[in-house]
């Protein structure tokens, strides 16, 4: 093969790779512009486009996802057509990144890495616009705690252990706890492992316990499968009543709220039923009691526990202890 022919083939390869990268990143192939820049005819560039079309048409997995090259009359150029149900649009990516940045469940380094990976999906212009919109928020991230470095790894590994019924040994400071993972749950600014605990090699099934992932130092997953205790646990149902308490009792509760903003209560008891009276709201629902106790005490005289009686008594005792701290006697 003579040098001139080799040079033409090399040039063609570079042009087609550039065109391919343009399409993949959401850009547009403008035939006349490329022909002018490369000192070729539009007919030659169109032939390259047809070869790229053939490449995509021969890839079965791409066809199944609805990916193909089409001429866009509005853009006056060739684009990579992708069915919306299989791909993230720029608006969706922006929304996901806003959630990610505000969640505070990862350190700054991981947030930046994930942001870059999501932005690479879209074209340069949209990427630049999104980055400009998020730049100050990303720059302002300050949570760079070392204990959060394993959050992504732990979330995946513990979720897989739950799916495959694997026993896990958790290292937490100087403690080691043997658990049967039920799943991983995000609550407010923390990620929690939900689990049943082993006691003397026997699993203790009652109220599920939870452990914040950022407090876990190390995990060891056993290869042997355990009994399918997960079949009796419904994460979706558990999530309705979960309020972040490390261990708690699920109970039906009835409260009277004397404040004005009922939405403040619904943040803590989202699935409660509410009836409005003249000067108060009557709230009832199921909830994990221990996580709610601190919230009720923080509301001072704006909220009253009606039922259960034993929990009303606990709140009363806590208030009396608080009062004794400030009594002069």
Q: Is the pLDDT assigned to residue 304 strictly greater than 90?
A: yes
User: Looking at the structure, do residues 130 and 156 belong to the same domain, yes or no?
Assistant: no
Q: Which of the listed residues 67, 86, 105 is the one where a domain comes to its end?
A: 86
Question: Torsions phi, psi of 249, nearest 5?
Answer: -120, 130
User: Looking at the structure, do residues 213 and 268 belong to the same domain, yes or no?
Assistant: no
d(CA 119, CA 124): 9
The set of residues, in sequence order, having a beta carbon less than 8 Å from that of 184 and lying 6+ positions away, is 155, 158, 159, 162, 191, 192, 193, 194, 213
Task: Give the percent of the chain with pLDDT over 70.
Answer: 90
pLDDT at position 40, please?
Answer: 92
User: Looking at the structure, do residues 201 and 174 belong to the same domain, yes or no?
Assistant: yes
Question: Torsions phi, psi of 50, nearest 5?
Answer: -60, -35
Closest CA to 213 of 161, 148, 168: 148
d(CA 124, CA 23): 11
Beta strands per DSSP E along 93-174: 166-172
User: Looking at the structure, do residues 227 and 281 belong to the same domain, yes or no?
Assistant: no
User: Looking at the structure, do residues 289 and 271 belong to the same domain, yes or no?
Assistant: yes
The token pair that represents 142 in the structure block: 């300050």
User: Looking at the structure, do residues 226 and 256 belong to the same domain, yes or no?
Assistant: no
Q: What global pTM score does this model have?
A: 0.67
User: Looking at the structure, do residues 211 and 160 belong to the same domain, yes or no?
Assistant: yes
Chain length of the chain: 329
Q: Is the pLDDT assigned to residue 25 strictly greater than 60?
A: yes
Closest CA to 176 of 225, 217, 207: 217
In total, how many domains does the chain have?
A: 4
User: Looking at the structure, do residues 102 and 135 belong to the same domain, yes or no?
Assistant: yes
User: Looking at the structure, do residues 176 and 214 belong to the same domain, yes or no?
Assistant: yes
Quick one: CA dihedral 36, 41, 42, 48, positive or negative?
Answer: negative
Q: Which of the listed residues 63, 86, 109 is the one where a domain comes to its end?
A: 86
Peptide bond into 308 cis (omega under 30): yes
Q: Which of the listed residues 144, 179, 212 is the one where a domain comes to its end?
A: 144
User: Looking at the structure, do residues 94 and 76 belong to the same domain, yes or no?
Assistant: no
Q: What is the CATH number of the domain that holds 278?
A: 3.90.56
Residue 195: helix, strand or coil by DSSP? Answer: strand
pLDDT, one tens digit per residue, over 67-102 is 889 999 988 999 988 776 667 888 999 999 998 888
pLDDT, one tens digit per residue, over 5-24 is 888 888 999 999 999 988 88
C-beta of residue 165 within 8 angstroms of C-beta of residue 229? yes
Q: Which domain holds residue 294?
A: 250-326
Rg (CA), the chain: 29
pLDDT at position 309, please?
Answer: 93
Q: To 5 degrees, how large is the angle CA 142–CA 108–CA 159? A: 125
User: Looking at the structure, do residues 294 and 279 belong to the same domain, yes or no?
Assistant: yes
Task: Give the percent of the chain with pLDDT over 90.
Answer: 29
d(CA 179, CA 203): 8
Q: What is the CATH number of the domain that holds 231?
A: 2.30.30
d(CA 169, CA 220): 5
pLDDT, one tens digit per residue, over 206-239 is 678 888 888 888 899 987 766 666 677 888 888 8
C-beta of residue 193 within 8 angstroms of C-beta of residue 181? yes
Q: Is the pLDDT assigned to residue 51 strictly greater than 90?
A: yes
d(CA 153, CA 218): 11
pLDDT, one tens digit per residue, over 165-213 is 888 999 987 788 888 899 999 887 788 899 888 766 555 556 788 888 8
pLDDT at position 264, please?
Answer: 81
pLDDT at position 149, please?
Answer: 64
d(CA 222, CA 220): 7
d(CA 112, CA 168): 30
pLDDT at position 26, please?
Answer: 76
């Amino acid at each position: 093969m003579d040098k001139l022919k080799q040079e033409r083939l090399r040039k063609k390869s570079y042009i087609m790779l550039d065109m391919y990268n343009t399409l993949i990143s959401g850009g547009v192939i403008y035939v006349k512009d490329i022909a002018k820049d490369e000192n070729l005819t539009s007919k030659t560039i169109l032939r390259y486009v047809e070869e790229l079309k053939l490449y995509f048409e021969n890839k079965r997995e791409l066809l199944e996802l609805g990916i193909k090259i089409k001429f866009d009359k509005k853009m006056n150029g060739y684009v990579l057509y992708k069915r919306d149900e299989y791909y993230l649009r720029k608006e969706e990516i922006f929304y996901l990144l806003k959630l990610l940045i505000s969640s505070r469940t990862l350190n700054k380094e991981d947030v930046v890495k994930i942001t870059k990976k999501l932005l690479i999906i879209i074209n340069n212009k949209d990427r630049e616009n999104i980055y400009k919109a998020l730049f100050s928020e990303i720059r302002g991230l300050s949570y760079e705690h070392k204990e959060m470095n394993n959050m992504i790894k732990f979330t995946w590994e513990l979720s897989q252990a739950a799916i495959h019924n694997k026993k896990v040994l958790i290292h937490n400071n100087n403690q080691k706890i043997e658990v049967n993972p039920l799943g991983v749950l995000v609550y407010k600014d923390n990620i929690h492992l939900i689990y049943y605990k082993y006691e003397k090699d026997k699993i203790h099934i009652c109220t599920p316990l939870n452990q914040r992932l950022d407090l876990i130092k190390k995990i060891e997953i056993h290869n042997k499968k355990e009994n399918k205790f997960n079949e009796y646990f419904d994460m979706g149902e558990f999530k309705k009543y979960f309020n972040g308490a490390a261990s708690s009792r699920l109970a039906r509760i009835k409260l009277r709220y004397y404040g004005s903003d009922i939405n403040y209560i619904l943040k803590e008891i989202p699935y409660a039923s509410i009836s409005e009276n003249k000067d108060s709201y009557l709230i009832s629902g199921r909830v994990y009691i221990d996580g709610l106790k601190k919230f009720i005490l923080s509301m001072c005289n704006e909220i009253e526990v009606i039922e259960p009686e034993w929990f009303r008594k606990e709140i009363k005792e806590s208030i009396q202890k608080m009062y004794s701290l400030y009594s002069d006697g």
